[in-house]
Amino acid sequence: MKPRLSTLQNIYLSFYWFAANVQWTALIIIVVPREVLFLVGKNHSASILSILVIIGSLIATIMQPWGGLVSDHLQHRWGRRRPYILLGTAGNIVGLFLMGYALRNFWIFVAGYMLVQFSANVAQSAYQALIPDLVPDTQRGTAAGYMGFMTQFAIIFGALLPRLLGDTTVYWAMAGFLIVGWAITQWGVHEQDSRGQSPSSEPTHWIRDVWISPREYPDFWWVFGTRLLVMLGFGTLENYLFYYLKFTARINHPETMVFNILALLTLGSLVSVLAAGWFSDRLGKRKTLVVIGGSLMGLTALVFAITANITLILVMGIVFGFGYGIYLSTDWALAVDVLPPGRLEGRSMGLWQASFNLAQVGAGLIAGAIITPLAHLINLGMAYRILFIVTFLYFILGSLFIQKVRTAR
């Protein structure tokens, strides 16, 4: 039996996730789209951003399950996970400085971004396995709620940093958050010495060793597939909100509005995320909560598609955040519920997380396929409306198909 975690232990466990999401929010929502727009111009910005998202997500798709599998087999006095968290964090910081000091050179900027993708996913592939490693079954929803809380709390900082800091200083700030996040989780999490405890066989094949049989574990793949659909919607909104506000809502400087939306989104999610995880542990209604959360996010995308009213957009930011908070905590716990048994939690969580990475690839490909040809036929504002109708369908289908999961609550 795993010992129950106190509130402070849950905070230590989830704090690295806060630091990582400060970085990703700043990069994906504002820093990278703004830099790409400056470097390549508005006519090519959507397609170039899509390419960067796709390549970065492919790196993550490979590294998440493979890095998790390697950490499953690590024998070290710090445990199986923390050495890889340190290694990945160090490489991540080097990549940030490459981006920050690229001197407006597009290729140096891209090289830094790819190093960030590679290194961050080394760290995260090991880090996300700490939940099944350390959290007892009766606290999975609660622990996932803390992870969701940290994810959403990070949004406000990630959106604020690019507004307050200069083009170079923002990279120093992101690196500082990562160092603090690593230190708190590194020394606050009590992971056992793994020497002599890990599986004896070493991973040898990056496809065969990370694969989970759909025939033996169909529920794992239903959770994977439904999360893929919902994250297609999330990735589309996340990556193209800046351009939607600029070309559909016709806001000349969208940075301020992005921050306002994300602040309201965070407010809505903070109201729901911890409570949803707690209720999912006690009521056993994870699937129902996933449907509610995904449907609220879908409603937001639909409203964005049919209006450019700023007040309504801000209100729907709160609605989206409330739904995302519900979805975030319950979906993570549901994933842990359906993991295959054994000591390969890093492999399994990495493969599950690949649903998010593949969604980033799919979101970029599909958005590029929609926006690029439509930009030559209709105005960009209408093109982004059509893109958000597609986004609505992602959320609804991903929410409804979760009922196919049979063995989890």
Q: Specify the pLDDT at position 176.
A: 92
Q: Specify the pLDDT at position 299.
A: 93
- What domains can you pick out in the chain, each with its CATH number? 13-185+217-404 (1.20.1250.20)
In sequence order, the 6+-apart residues with CB closer than 8 A to the CB of 407 are: 219, 337, 338
| Phi and psi, residue 196, nearest 5° | 85, 0
Q: Specify the pLDDT at position 59.
A: 86
Q: Specify the pLDDT at position 391.
A: 92
| Sites in the chain below the pLDDT cut of 50 | none
Q: What is the pTM of this model?
A: 0.75
- Let me know how long the chain is: 409
Q: Specify the pLDDT at position 91.
A: 94
Residue matched to tokens 């992602």: 394
Q: Encoding tokens for residue 270?
A: 């903070």
Q: Specify the pLDDT at position 197.
A: 64
Q: Specify the pLDDT at position 207.
A: 62
Residue 87 to residues 27, 70, 97, 102, 181, Cα–Cα distance (Å): 21, 13, 16, 23, 14
Q: Specify the pLDDT at position 232.
A: 92
Q: Alpha helix (H) ranges present in 73-168?
A: 82-100, 106-127, 130-134, 140-164
Q: Specify the pLDDT at position 254.
A: 79
Exposure string over 37-53, b if 16+ CB within 10 A, otherwise e: bebeeeeebbbbbbbbb
